[in-house]
A and B are shown apart, each in its own frame.
Chain A
Amino acid sequence: MDYLMGIKGPDFVMVCSDTQAAHSVISIKHDEDKIVPLDSHKMFGIAGEAGDRVNFSEFVIANVKLYALRNSTELSTSSVAHFTRGELAKALRSSPYHCNLLLAGYDEKVGPSLYWMDYLATLNKINTGGTGYGAMFVLSLFDKLWHPNLTEAEAVDMMEQGIAEVKRRLVVAPPHYIIKIIDKNGIRTVKTV
């Protein structure tokens, strides 16, 4: 029931998630931020089992921070993606982390990147993508609307169209969402819906 979608533009990456924390049929919290920063220019959108997603993302964030402190340099988005995938893979055949993630980042040399990871340690670099029931309705919509020279305003509009589609068609659609963006200046919240 988590909704998580990402869009990569030519000089930014945008991630939208719902902000509902649910426990079976009860909505505990309406403003749970599921898009967590790793450092100034990278963030995880995390979906899946409640305990696992927080525990796993905190684990990766701590390792990323440790690396930066030890080596006086930050990891690139690509290396974080591969490291994260490796940790999911390592745990897979003993006690898997049941979470799906979007990793969004901006590197000076490479520009924006968006990575999709699932609980089976699949890793894909994508332009648009997402996880959950909501993604089912929205992936094809994004395929239609995305083009390589997307502006930030167009991406926000895409996200809002996606949210509207989910609310229209998903039986128990989350009521509230948050949209964040990363560009060369870092992470910023665009809006909450």
Chain B
Amino acid sequence: MSRRYDSRTTIFSPEGRLYQVEYAMEAISNAGASMGMLAKDGVVLVAEKKITSKLLDSKAVGVRKEKMYKLDDHIACSVAGITADANILINICRLAAQRYYFAYQEPIPVEQLVQSVCDTKQGYTQFGGQRPFGVSILYAGWDEHYGFQLYQSDPSGNYGGWKAAAIGAGHAAATNLLKTDYKDDITLAEAVPLLVRVLSKAMDTSLAVDKVEIATLSKDPATGKVIYKQYEAPEITPLIEAANADKAAAASS
């Protein structure tokens, strides 16, 4: 019976649901996981890459970054869902950030960027007859109004500010783990290994260097500038080894 209301994205079902939006969220639950955690002195994002193959050219730019993207000097994001859809949204985010800077000569406050992208996403659930974007995004940013922030948006155009969030495969399990493990005054140095451990626990397979992306947003104590850092293999390896060891120890005990 619900089939009758599926083909049009922009109408309600009799029970008052938007099926296309729900199906989009289903698509994302099958995609590579992304998680974020807010610390006192920064934000960390980790993600599981789904596209791994010996044949991938590791020197080509697009390969290393499948999940994490810089939106402006002070904002980065991690995506989960249909990669091609995500690319469009990331471009929209970047445009929004630069348009704001052009008008005001100041960096866009993080929440305003999230709001403007979410307004776009909402449009695809209400008019135009086009399907929604099959992407959820975690935004990590810093601005002078609210300091470090972590936001999550989904295909409906809803967003929320979070202390820790997980999207993509295993997000329900990861969210549960985050609820127990997170503490309010955590530092970035503590948050990074913690989030990697949560990722490994929520994944079926054990982590490998070419399957994980890690990025942090923090401030340089000397200059006060916001730094976006994507971890390279030598930095990722010890973190995932520790997480895999933890997981093995927990499984055997």
Residue in B105, B106, B109, B111 with the greatest tally of chain A CB atoms within 10 Å: B105
B: interface residue count bin: under 10
Contact (Cβ within 8 A) B105 A78: yes
Task: Decide if B106 touches A86 in the complex (CB within 8 Å).
Answer: no
Residue B58 lies at the interface, judged by CB distance under 8 Å to chain A: no
Let me know if B104 and A79 touch, CB within 8 A.
yes
Judging by beta carbons under 8 Å apart, are A79 and B106 in contact? yes
* Interchain CB contact under 8 A, A79 and B105: yes
Determine whether A71 belongs to the interface, using a CB cutoff of 8 Å to chain B.
Answer: yes
User: A83 contacts B103, CB within 8 Å?
Assistant: yes
Residues 42-81 (chain B) with a chain A CB within 8 angstroms:
none
Query: Which A residues are in CB contact (< 8 Å) with B112?
Result: 71
Write out the residue numbers on chain B whose beta carbons fall within 8 Å of the beta carbon of A83.
103-104
For A79, the chain B residues whose CB sits under 8 A away are 104-106
Q: Give the dominant DSSP class at B's interface.
A: helix
**Please, which residues of chain A bring their CB within 8 A of the CB of B3?**
none
Answer whether A78 and B102 are a contact pair too, CB < 8 Å, given A71-B112, A73-B145: no
Question: Which residue of chain B is the closest to A87 with respect to CB atoms?
Answer: B103
- A24, B103: Cα distance in complex, Å: 36
Chain B residues within CB distance 8 Å of chain A: 102-106, 109, 111-112, 145
Complex A-B: 20 CB contacts under 8 Å: A71-B109, A71-B111, A71-B112, A73-B109, A73-B145, A75-B104, A76-B106, A78-B105, A78-B106, A79-B104, A79-B105, A79-B106, A82-B103, A82-B104, A82-B105, A82-B106, A83-B103, A83-B104, A86-B102, A86-B103
User: CB within 8 Å of B: which of A113-137?
Assistant: none
Number of chain A residues close to chain B: CB under 8 A: 9
Tell me the chain A residues, 67-81 only, with Cβ under 8 Å from chain B: 71, 73, 75-76, 78-79
Q: How far is the CB of A76 from chain B (nearest CB, A)?
A: 7
What residues of A have a CB within 8 angstroms of the CB of B104 in the complex?
Answer: 75, 79, 82-83
A53-64 interface code vs B (CB 8 A; 1 in, 0 out): 000000000000
- A71 — which chain B residues lie within 8 A by C-beta? 109, 111-112
Docked Cα-Cα span, A157 to B237, in Å, equals 70
Closest to B101 in A: A82
Give a binary string over A19-31; 1 marks a CB under 8 Å from any B CB, 0 the rest: 0000000000000
Which A-chain residue is minimally distant from B111 (CB atoms)? A71
Kindly state the separation between the CA atoms of A71 and B143 in the bound complex, as whole angstroms.
Answer: 14
Query: B81 → chain A, closest Cβ, in Å?
Result: 28
The residue among B104, B106, B109 with the most chain A CB atoms within 10 A of its own CB is: B104
CB proximity of B28 to chain A, nearest CB, Å: 28
